[in-house]
Amino acid sequence: MNPGWRRDAVAAVWVAAVAGAGWTGTALAARAPSKAKPATHTVTIDATSYAPARLTVHPGDTVVWVNKDLIPHTATAKGGGFDSKVLAAGASFRLTVKAKAGIDYACLFHPTMKGRIDVE
Amino acid sequence: MKVMYVAGLMAALTIPAAAASAQAVTDPQIAAIVVTANQVDIDAGKLAAAHANNPEVKKFGELMAADHAGVNKSATELVTKLKVTPQNNPTSESLKDGGVKNVAHLKTLKGAAFDKAYVDQEVAYHTAVLDAVDKTLIPNASNAELKALLVKVRPAFVAHLEHAKQIQATLGGAH
C-alpha cells in the first residue's frame, strides 16, 4: 500500500476545511484556472532538505512531498496555510494549490530546512 | 563534571581524526561508532523528554530520540545487508562510557539546571559528531553505501546543532 494515501485524505480534508480563508481563500472564488491541465509536482525530502527548494505552480496544481529521508520531517507553511504534520520516513503529503500567492514553508523539526512555493 | 564529560566525548571523537592519516578506521569500526553515537543521543533524548522542565527542551529531547533512532534503524539495516559486523573499538567504547556518565550526571540535576546541562551537552555532542563525520567517518568509509548513508544524515546533525544552539541561547545563563 502507498503510505501516502492516508496523508492524501488528510490533505483533502484540510483543503475543504480552510476553504475561503487563508492561503486557499482566493482560489475557490477564482475563475476556472487557465486552460492548461493541472499538473502534479513532487518535492523530494532527502538529506534534511527539500528538492526542489523552490517550486512554481499554477492554481489547481497538486504538490506532493515525499519523504525519502531516514528521519521524520514536516512541510509546514509559515504563518499557517498548510501543514503536512509528521511525515515519517517513506510517507508523503499531497496538497492541491488553490491560492494565487506564494508561500514559504519549513520543517518544524529542522530549522535549516526551508522551501517556497510560488504561484503564478 | 559536565565539563569533564564533554572533554572526554570530544577526545573520544577526535582520536581517530588525529590517527586517521596513519591508521584508517575500518567499515566495521565505523558501523560501531555510528550505532553507538546514535544510541548515546537516543538515551539522553529520552531522559530529556521525560525530565526536562522547559517545553522546548522536552520537545528537542523527543526529536533527538526519534531522529537518531531513524538513523540507527537505517544504519543497522544497511550493515546487515552488507554483512558488516559492527566492531567495537576505542572510539565506540569511549562514546558508550561517556554516554552512560552523561545520563548519570543528568539524573542528578533538576529543572533549569537539567535543561541547561542537557542542551549544553547536545551542542558539544553534535559539534563533536560533525567533526568526526567530516574528518574521520566519511573519509574512511570504504563501502559506497555506508559513505552515502553518512553523507545523507550529515545535514540532520547540522540542523540538530543549530536547533540546540537556538535553545541554548534562550536558556541563557553563564557558560
pLDDT digits over A8-35, tens only?
434 433 343 343 334 543 344 444 555 6
Least confident of A1-10, B61-70, B101-110: A1-10
Q: How far apart are CA B36 and CA B96, in angstroms?
A: 6
**CB-CB under 8 Å, A72 with B152:** no
Stretch 79-98 of chain A: residues touching chain B, C-beta under 8 Å = 89
Which residues from chain A sit within 8 angstroms of residue B151, using beta carbons?
A: 47
pLDDT of residue A97: 92
pLDDT of residue B24: 80
Nearest residue, CB atoms, B166 vs list A49, A71, A111: A111
Which residues from chain B sit within 8 angstroms of residue A67, using beta carbons?
A: none
H or E element in which residue A54 lies: strand A54-57
Query: Alpha carbon of B4 to those of A66, B9, B124: distances in Å?
Result: 43, 9, 12
pLDDT of residue A20: 36
Beta carbon pairs, A and B, within 8 Å: 50
pLDDT band (50, 70, 90) for residue B23: low
A111: preceding bond cis by omega (within 30 degrees): no
B42 pLDDT more than 50: yes
pLDDT of residue A99: 81
CB B78 within 8 A of CB B38: no
pLDDT of residue A101: 87
ipTM over 0.95: no
pLDDT tens-digit series, residues B117-156? 999 999 999 999 999 999 999 999 999 999 999 999 999 9
Shortest CA distance from A72: residue in chain B: B67
pLDDT tens-digit series, residues A44-73? 999 999 999 999 999 999 999 999 999 999
pTM of the model: 0.80
**CB-CB under 8 Å, B155 with A47:** yes
Q: How far apart are CA B126 and CA A70, in angstroms?
A: 18
Which domains does chain A carry? 4-30+38-119 (2.60.40.420)
Share of chain B residues as helix, strand and coil, in percent rounded to the nearest 5: 85, 0, 15
Distance from CA of A71 to the nearest CA of B (A): 5
pLDDT tens-digit series, residues B47-92? 999 999 999 999 999 999 999 999 999 999 999 999 999 999 999 9
B39 pLDDT more than 80: yes
A83 pLDDT more than 70: yes
User: Grid coordinates representing B115?
Assistant: 535543561
pLDDT of residue B19: 44
pLDDT of residue B5: 55
Task: Using a CB–CB cutoff of 8 Å, tell me whether B158 touches chain A.
Answer: yes
Task: Using a CB–CB cutoff of 8 Å, tell me whether B63 touches chain A.
Answer: yes
pLDDT of residue B11: 54
pLDDT of residue B87: 96
- Chain-wide mean pLDDT for chain B? 89
Which residues from chain A sit within 8 angstroms of residue B163, using beta carbons?
A: 110-111
Nearest residue, CB atoms, A70 vs list B152, B159, B162: B152
User: Grid coordinates representing B34?
Assistant: 555510528
- Mean local confidence (pLDDT), A85-113: 93
Three-state DSSP state, B132 = helix
Task: Using a CB–CB cutoff of 8 Å, tell me whether A112 touches chain B.
Answer: yes
Which domains does chain B carry? 2-171 (1.20.1260.10)
